[in-house]
Amino acid sequence: MTVLVMEQVSKRYRQTTAVDQVSVSLEKGEIVGVLGPDGAGKTTLLNLAAGMIPPTKGRIKREEEAVGFVPQHFGMYEELSIEENLHFYGQLNGIDKNERDERIAELLARIRLATFASRRAGQLSGGMKRKLAIAGAMLHRPGLMVLDEPTHGVDPVSRREVWEMIRHAAAEGAGVLVSTQYLDEADHCDRVLLLHRGRGLADGRPEALLRQFPYPVWVVREAVNIRSNGVRHLLQMKEVVDAYPRGVDLVVIGRDPSAGEALMRWLHETGAAREVGPVEETGPTMEDVLIRLIREQKGEGR
Ligand SMILES: Nc1ncnc2c1ncn2[C@@H]1O[C@H](COP(=O)(O)OP(=O)(O)OP(=O)(O)O)[C@@H](O)[C@H]1O
């Protein structure tokens, strides 16, 4: 069952087109990730999906009355306890006392906050606050959940727990639209939409997007010493489509398998091989997929 359909939706603010003809749909029990860098239009798209702002153009159809929305900058009552906050959300959504008690106990156990139930919300870490906000939004078992960057600035352990909660909400039947700037979180989604400057550049199952990447990829480990020169040289080689740093490594996108030999030859002939760690042929990451799509859209690279 479809819970949300957005067709050719645009949102303009004076000079800026924050969302530009984006289409996305969401089924019950499905997690769809909206992935993109800062300013891609994620917040605007999610605000449109949740019905917080009207579109300039396009059609949005929500099949579900009940929406659980957690904005990027959500508020909670810092002076109230964790449990009181949840009761407050529950009351707002018209859940009666008995059902509320039961559901709150269940969700507190799930987010591992049961023993802290009487602690003031203001004393919680950022990660715990996120989990509490998501618990509040799923109390009334909404058919549609919209979560704006729930893992932003959250430590890795809490990030994993936030995703566990999202999976649980989907398992309970909600369709979840969730944004993130961490492209590796595509792994947690059934489908993803890659967003850049308001445009949807690609969508589909994460494994399909990775499989469709047409180029072989090499990673030169610990390449800090050769990075800026290396990129410049590699970009001049006809076998190489693209080269860019990632952390301390250097990513090389080849035109075809012969790029591997060309890369090794270049590393040895210039002596750069002595300056770097091992060279590995790997599959693409979601970041490689997005970078390629952005370069192709701009008509950059090759
Ligand atoms: N109310 C507004 N008025 C004018 N411009 C806006 C407004 N909201 C967003 N924008 C612009 O629209 C573009 C997309 O913003 P949006 O916040 O949706 O992106 P985002 O991907 O969520 O980024 P972030 O992670 O920084 O929130 C940006 O250029 C932003 O400046």
ipTM: 0.95
Q: Which atom of ligand 1 is nearest to the CA of 40?
A: 21
Q: Inter-axis angle of helices 126-138 and 82-92, to 10 degrees?
A: 30
CA distance 180 to 35: 5
Tell me the two tokens of residue 35. Answer: 């992935």
Q: What is the pLDDT of residue 302?
A: 52
Q: What is the pLDDT of residue 220?
A: 96
CA distance 177 to 204: 14
Distance 39 CA to ligand 1 centre (A): 5
Task: Tell me the pLDDT of the chain (302 aa) as tens digits.
Answer: 999 999 999 999 999 999 999 999 999 999 999 999 999 999 999 999 999 999 999 999 998 889 999 999 888 899 999 999 999 999 988 899 999 999 999 999 988 888 888 899 999 888 889 999 999 999 999 999 999 999 998 999 999 999 999 999 999 999 999 999 999 999 999 999 999 999 999 999 999 999 999 999 999 999 998 878 888 999 999 999 999 999 999 999 999 999 999 999 999 998 988 999 999 999 999 999 999 999 988 775 55
Distance 35 CA to ligand 1 centre (A): 14
Q: Which atom of ligand 1 is nearest to the CA of 47?
A: 18
Q: What is the pLDDT of residue 228?
A: 80
Which residue of 42, 52, 53 sits with most ligand 1 atoms within 8 Å of its CB, as the best mutation to test the pocket? 42
**DSSP letter assigned to residue 26:** E
Q: How far is CA 247 from CA 39, 219, 253, in A?
A: 22, 11, 16
Q: What is the pLDDT of residue 41?
A: 97
CB atoms within 10 A of CB 272: 18
Partners of residue 177 on adjacent β-strands: 32, 146
Distance 274 CA to ligand 1 centre (A): 45
- Residues within a 6 A CB radius of ligand 1: 13, 16, 18, 36, 38-44, 181
The DSSP line for 137-190 is HHTT--SEEEESSTTTT--HHHHHHHHHHHHHHHHTT-EEEEEES-GGGGGG-S
The DSSP line for 236-297 is HSTTEEEEEEETTEEEEEESSTHHHHHHHHHHHHTTGGGGS--EEEEPPPHHHHHHHHHHHH
Distance 166 CA to ligand 1 centre (A): 24
Q: Whose CA is nearest to atom 6 of ligand 1?
A: 13
